[in-house]
Structure 1
């Protein structure tokens, strides 16, 4: 089992933040996206928010490979539709690479 911790910012707009949280309630999430997460070897995923900063914690099994997950996502129209919808609410961290959304955090303790 491996744990990943990633960060991303939301646009600093209370209305957009409320809508983002709406889409992440269990009853509003998309089953196809949830299935793609499990299929990639992610056994648990949690997202936390403070202000407009998000932190995602993922626990993965030994089969998880971030590169393979990105390839799977790129070829899945429903995941691409979800990502396009989420980009309405999200913005890259100032130090993110071009095209990078979620940035892996460095464990320091």
Structure 2
């Protein structure tokens, strides 16, 4: 299993919209995540920063992420959520959600 933690900024004027969208994530979007071996996916908020965490149980994260990106239901979902977000200043070139460095793990 691989743990993935990421951060992105939520646009303050879109915060209520972002919360509302996530009250009912479309089932086809969730099904695609599950089919791509993603479990325990959560998003948390602090100020204007969104923190996401998920556990990956597959063998090829890049391929599974590509399958998610190619999924029509997910593409429609992202048309709603992407305008609510913007990369954090620490993001690398071309990054949307920015990976976080793990500094501690208790199992």
Q: Are residues 1:60 and 2:56 paired?
A: yes
TM-score between both structures, scaled by the size of structure 1: 0.86
TM-score between both structures, scaled by the size of structure 2: 0.87
Aligned residues: 104
1:1-109 correspondence to structure 2 within 5 Å: 1-13=1-13, 16-25=14-23, 28-61=24-57, 63-109=58-104
Residue aligned with 2:12, SS? coil
| Consecutive unaligned residues in structure 1, runs of 5 or more | none
More displaced, 78-87 or 67-76? Answer: 67-76
**Contact 1:92–1:102 (Cα < 8 Å) also in 2:** yes
Separation in 1, partners of 2:10, 2:87: 8
**Contact 1:40–1:64 (Cα < 8 Å) also in 2:** no
Separation in 2, partners of 1:20, 1:85: 9
Identify if the C-alpha distance between structure 1 residues 99 and 82 changes in structure 2 by more than 3 Å, giving closer, same or farther: farther
Shift of 1:64: 4.9
Q: Which runs of 4+ in 1 moved over 6 A?
A: none
| Consecutive unaligned residues in structure 2, runs of 5 or more | none
**Contact 1:5–1:105 (Cα < 8 Å) also in 2:** yes
CA RMSD of aligned residues (A): 1.4
**Contact 2:36–2:65 (Cα < 8 Å) also in 1:** no
